[in-house]
Amino acid sequence: LIVTDAGFTRRHMSTAVDGEMVAAPTQQASHAARQHWLAILAGASAGQLETAWQGLTDKPAYRALRAPETGLIMLRGRVGGTGQPFNVGEMTMTRAAVQLLGSAGEVTHTGFGYVAGRSARRAELVALFDALLQDPARHDAITAAVVEPLAVRQQAAKARQSAKVAASKVDFFTMVRGE
Partner 1 sequence: MNERTVTASTASAPYGPLEPGLRDPVLGSQTCFRAVLDALAHPGRIVDLPQALAGSPPATLCEATASIVLTMCDIDTPLWLDPAASPAAPYFAFHCGAPLIEGPAKASFAIVSNPTALPPLQSFALGTDEYPEQSATLIIEVTDLSALHGVVLRGPGILDEARLSASGLPTRFWEERQALAELFPRGIDVLFTCGGRVAALPRSTRIG
Positions touching partner 1 (CB under 8 A) are 19-20, 22-25, 63-67, 69, 97, 99, 107-110
Nearer to partner 1, 1 or 64 (CB): 64
Nearer to partner 1, 89 or 102 (CB): 102
Nearer to partner 1, 37 or 130 (CB): 130
Separation of alpha carbons 70 and 117, rounded Å? 8
Q: How far is the CB of 144 from partner 1 (least distance, A)?
A: 26
Q: How far is the CB of 44 from partner 1 (least distance, A)?
A: 23
Instruction: Give exposure, 69-87, as e/b (b: 16+ Cβ within 10 Å).
Output: eeeebebebeeeeeeeeee
Nearer to partner 1, 66 or 158 (CB): 66
| Long-range own/partner contacts, residues 126-129 (CB < 8 A, 24 or more apart) | 126/38, 126/41, 126/42, 126/44, 126/49, 126/96, 127/96, 127/97, 127/98, 128/53, 128/60, 128/62, 128/98, 128/100, 129/37, 129/41, 129/49, 129/52, 129/53
Q: How far is the CB of 46 from partner 1 (least distance, A)?
A: 22
Q: How far is the CB of 136 from partner 1 (least distance, A)?
A: 15
